Structure 1
Amino acid sequence: MRVQQAVRDARHTEQALPGRGGLADSLRRVAGLQARAELSVGLPAHGAWRPCHDLLESPYLFTRWRADLATWLTTRHGTAPARTTASYIASWYLRVPAYVGALLLHHERRVPALRPEELALRIAAEGRPNPDGIAVLGESFYCLPSDPGSALPEATVVADDRALAAVLRARYTAHAARFVQAYREVSPLGARTLWAAATDALDSCLWWAGRDGGDEGAGVADAALVLESRFAPLTSASTLCTGTSAEGSLGWTRRRESCCFSYLLPGQHECAGCPRVRRVAGS
């Protein structure tokens, strides 16, 4: 971990330019290290972008989003169960703050504020209506003392990696709490289920940030750092562990806390690691 941190610090210092070095520079650097969504600095003029704050302030917008998903699922499967659409939308939304936070923690050792007012998402215009773009609208961030941008007015310095992990956990949980409160008004999912989905999103995104960037083990280590134990209302510590695939190879996997309800679609079955499978096996 010390070697990895030294490499990050050296790369970050080398790329920082006089008078720059803020969050926008970090976002531009990490954007090319992943392919899950377009990352933007500020709100682009093109595309159907929705500020997260607007969605949380007007939960009926989630209902419209679920209707679009229901149309897509019905075209493919002939049906769109309410719990399935509700779970998909919850997971997609929660990955927006989780993935931004995970990417910047992993690659830059920075954590943005992650407030709903400072994030926006773009829903894919064709095909599956999942978020295919994330925009970061704010400039403030938390960082380590060694960060070359630590003297910037928008930077808040914390003591070490452990403190930075705690900031990510707190900022993400604050955003997730606002989502849970808003989404419960318009979905059939309860608070426990939504907090389980929030836990899955954060744990998975920390893992993906490392894997997408070429160092899966470091992503797993970040997940263990941020979710070293259960921090309520999140429902568990990181559940990442080694496992054997169907082909017999050993690799990283995780036990899900929430169910996506894909098994309700015709011809579909429970996902690997689904909590429903564990409950049935233990009964």
Structure 2
Amino acid sequence: MAASLARIDPQQGRVELRHGDQRGVPGWRTCADFLADPGAFGSWRAGLAAWLDHQYGESPDRTTAGYVMSWYLWVPGYVAGLLFHHERRVPSLRPEHLAFRMAEPRPHPEAIAVLTPGFTCLPDDPDAGDPHATAVPDEQALAAVLRGRFTAHAARFVEVFADQARFGRRMLWSAATDALDNALWLAGRYGGDERAGVADAALVLADGPRPLTAPSTLRQVVAADGSAEWTRRRESCCFHYLLDRGQGTCSTCPRLSRRGG
């Protein structure tokens, strides 16, 4: 797993990737810490509110909840998407096996660490015989492992965050769907093969929506210059529009599709 993360880190510039125990290192906390600490998400939202107040002059409650919801789910979704796309490996996504560090002053995850060496892979993986590896028969089986591990982690987040934010569970699972679909897409884009990332998203989200809310929503559209580009319809709203009411909603916002736009 350490070698895998070292190989894929240069193929993206979104976060710093690490392997190994970061507990006790200043600034790092495990996902399990956040889920176990009743005040952790509240403190995170308070720090974000201070930054939003400075930047926009306001910090709506729904916006801080929407940002934190998306940022947290991004942690297991993004690292899993990168490893699946580039290495055809799936790490443990248990909350106690993932950690992240926040940036300052905008408190978003800027580094992610996988704390354990175990991974699931395909039979032809060069390290399939490693004692930390578990091989599955094919890509469909590996995609099912990824989907199952991600949704298990997301389910724990939903249970905790549903009591702290005024969002229904459908909204929270919509954000989880966005995190996984978007992560696989961007793994391909950042790695130079966007179409392969789109194919990975379709594969991983292909086995029905529950508890996720939709299969991959990635599709091609024609840009203003006549070229084709990939986009997706979001399942959840980030509520950024509340910070800039003159700008309106994003073009991919589910609020538009619900109005028929």
TM-score bracket for the superposition, by shorter chain length: over 0.9
Counterpart residue number, 2:63: 84
Match of 2:141 among 163, 170, 185: 163
Counterpart residue number, 2:252: 273
Question: Structure 1 counterpart of 2:20, which letter?
Answer: G
Counterpart residue number, 1:4: none
Shift of residue 248, structure 1, vs aligned partner: 4.3
Shift of residue 231, structure 1, vs aligned partner: 2.9
Q: Are residue 262 (structure 1) and residue 240 (structure 2) matched? A: yes
Contact 1:262 1:268 in 2 (8 A): no
Matches within 5 A, 1:174-253: 174-253=152-231
Contact 2:174 2:235 in 1 (8 A): yes
Size of the aligned set, in residue pairs, is: 259
Shift of residue 268, structure 1, vs aligned partner: 3.3
Pairwise CA RMSD: 1.3
Question: Structure 2 counterpart of 1:219, which letter?
Answer: G
The CA distance in 2 between the partners of 1:231 and 1:280, in whole Å, is 22
The CA distance in 1 between the partners of 2:150 and 2:176, in whole Å, is 9
Match of 1:146 among 119, 124, 127: 124
Question: Structure 2 counterpart of 1:168, which letter?
Answer: L
Other structure's SS at 2:58 match: coil
The CA distance in 2 between the partners of 1:82 and 1:249, in whole Å, is 39
Counterpart residue number, 2:38: 59
Contact 2:21 2:116 in 1 (8 A): no
Question: Structure 1 counterpart of 2:48, which letter?
Answer: L
Report Cα offsets for 1:240-283 as digits up to 9, x if no partner. Answer: 0001335543200001100111111133321111111111236x
The CA distance in 2 between the partners of 1:197 and 1:250, in whole Å, is 26
Other structure's SS at 1:29 match: helix
TM-score between the two structures when normalised by the length of structure 2: 0.96
Report Cα offsets for 1:196-251 as digits up to 9, x if no partner. Answer: 00000000000000000111010000001101243301000000000133554320
Change (3 A) 1:98 1:77: same
Question: Structure 1 counterpart of 2:123, which letter?
Answer: P
Question: Structure 2 counterpart of 1:183, which letter?
Answer: F
Counterpart residue number, 1:49: 28
Match of 2:2 among 19, 24, 37: 24
The CA distance in 2 between the partners of 1:56 and 1:237, in whole Å, is 27
Other structure's SS at 1:231 match: coil
Structure 1 gap ranges (5+): 1-22
Q: Are residue 103 (structure 1) and residue 85 (structure 2) matched? A: no
TM-score between the two structures when normalised by the length of structure 1: 0.88
Q: Which region of structure 1 is more displaced relative to structure 2, 260-269 or 154-163?
A: 260-269
Contact 1:60 1:186 in 2 (8 A): no
